[in-house]
Structure 1
Amino acid sequence: MPQRAPEAVTPQDILEFWFPGALAKGDADDHAAFWRSRMQGGMDTALIGDWAEVTHAAARGAYDAWAADPRGRLALLLTLDQFPRSVWRDTPAAYGQDIKACRLVLEALENGHFEALDTPWERNFPLIVLSHCEGPDHLARMDLCVELADTMVAPAFPRYDHIYGDAGIQPRRVREIIRRFGRHPHRNAVLGRVSTPEEEDYIATGDFPHLRAPDAPA
């Protein structure tokens, strides 16, 4: 498939690409495969091959107007947070839109756009944005992520409790990293940051939350 033309892309195009229709069936295997691919680099080939120009356009602000409604905002968040991590993997640009995406999520929590999202798998991606963005309020945002993840299913989506009932596991893992270090140490080399001795020990383990098998989709 050729590169998607940035000027022709719609929010629905983004959402249909990112969220397979099979998720609506509630099959646990389908959901596990979905989270494994999204969180562990499984989308790199598709994003680099088909959506790189869209990712560049999003970073330039071409789709900012999408934030006017809940699903458009979700599509915008994906192009600012998830797409760059594949298209610009292992470069500082992978994190270049984190602050903007985080602000969009905080606004969504205030204006009702977050609550308007239809499914727990859609709601998880704004929480991932909050966990990705480094900054002085990071630990407070992780507390918020844990709180929101713990109420992800009940009472809004009881049908998916067997899949998302433990959605707070991953935010808690990330929260512990932020509590210990105040940042994501695995980014230090990419961002040219000097690691502390404790961070060096942690980095040497390679046991980073985003690389763990998705025993809970978060």
Structure 2
Amino acid sequence: MNDNNMRQVWQEVLDFWFPEGRSLQADLATHKDHWLWRMRGGADSEITRRFTGPTAEAAAGHLDGWASDPNSRLALIIVLDQFSRSVWRNSARSFAQDTAALAFTMEGLTNGHYAQLPTPWHKVVFGLPLGHCEGEDHLERVDLLIGLREEIAAQAPVHLSPVYRSLVKQAQDVRQVIAAFGRHPHRNEVLGRPSRLDEEAYLAKKQFPHLRAFQDLIIP
């Protein structure tokens, strides 16, 4: 695949995943709907139809060159962290790219790529692997995630700030889960690992952070 084709693919990823584009004048209600679409699997069929090939390529490490630029790095993170969950939903493979996605996020936080992203929604998605990737330093990374989201919420356009305050709350909810269990229990069945008794009680409630997002958001 030549450079022009490579650029076309990662630009298609960004255009698809961010229907609001780069306009900071996005309507609040529409912007919330875009977030729910991104967070709750509403794009699964379209991702599978359009991006299964690039997702497999990224999982194999063949798209690592996208990390050379802030925007294409973000596209790579989206493919590894988000599209993998759609293409391989209900399979352990859907989470197998989390470590790679996290590495690209952490590097992008230190090399200036994150700071160059143009909108709050680009920055939130860039940071998703901090909360998604399980591991020994998970709680520390979620604290970093909360801090980043607090900064984003403070800098977001005033009319969109309710969305980003809700996303701070969602990250705080994730922290409670990781502090209690050290992992995401809702993945246990897919990953073939047994749930502890405390996790079974949590799972029975079905009050997972990604499903509770925006419950506190009131749109005038």
TM-score, with structure 1 as normaliser: 0.90
> Which residue in 2 is equivalent to 1:59?
59
Unaligned runs of 5+ in 1: 1-5
How many corresponding residue pairs? 212
> Which residue in 2 is equivalent to 1:143?
143
> What letter is aligned with 2:15?
E
1:39-50 alignment runs, 5 A limit: 39-50=39-50
Paired residue secondary structure (1:153) = helix
1:105-124 alignment runs, 5 A limit: 105-124=105-124
> Which residue in 2 is equivalent to 1:211?
211
> What letter is aligned with 2:201?
D
Q: Deviations over 1:182-204 (max 9, x none)?
A: 00001111111111100011111
Q: CA deviation at 1:63?
A: 1.2
RMSD: 2.0
> Which residue in 2 is equivalent to 1:126?
126
Confirm or deny that 1:191 pairs with 2:211: no
2:15 touches 2:21 (CA, 8 Å); kept in 1? Answer: no
Structure number with higher helix proportion? 2
TM-score, with structure 2 as normaliser: 0.89
Q: CA deviation at 1:50?
A: 1.7
Q: Structure 2: how far apart are the matches of 1:201 and 1:155?
A: 38
Change (3 A) 1:78 1:53: same
2:39 touches 2:210 (CA, 8 Å); kept in 1? Answer: yes
1:149 touches 1:168 (CA, 8 Å); kept in 2? Answer: yes
Q: CA deviation at 1:128?
A: 1.4
1:146-161 alignment runs, 5 A limit: 146-155=146-155, 157-158=157-158, 160-161=160-161
Q: Structure 1: how far apart are the matches of 2:96 and 2:102?
A: 11
Change (3 A) 1:108 1:21: same
Q: Structure 2: how far apart are the matches of 1:62 and 1:30?
A: 35
Q: Structure 1: how far apart are the matches of 2:21 and 2:118?
A: 15
Q: Structure 2: how far apart are the matches of 1:186 and 1:155?
A: 32
> Which residue in 2 is equivalent to 1:10?
9
Unaligned runs of 5+ in 2: none
Q: CA deviation at 1:214?
A: 2.9
Change (3 A) 1:181 1:14: same
Change (3 A) 1:22 1:62: closer
Change (3 A) 1:19 1:216: farther
Change (3 A) 1:43 1:162: same
Q: Structure 1: how far apart are the matches of 2:7 and 2:124?
A: 27
Q: Structure 1: how far apart are the matches of 2:155 and 2:112?
A: 17
> What letter is aligned with 1:65?
G
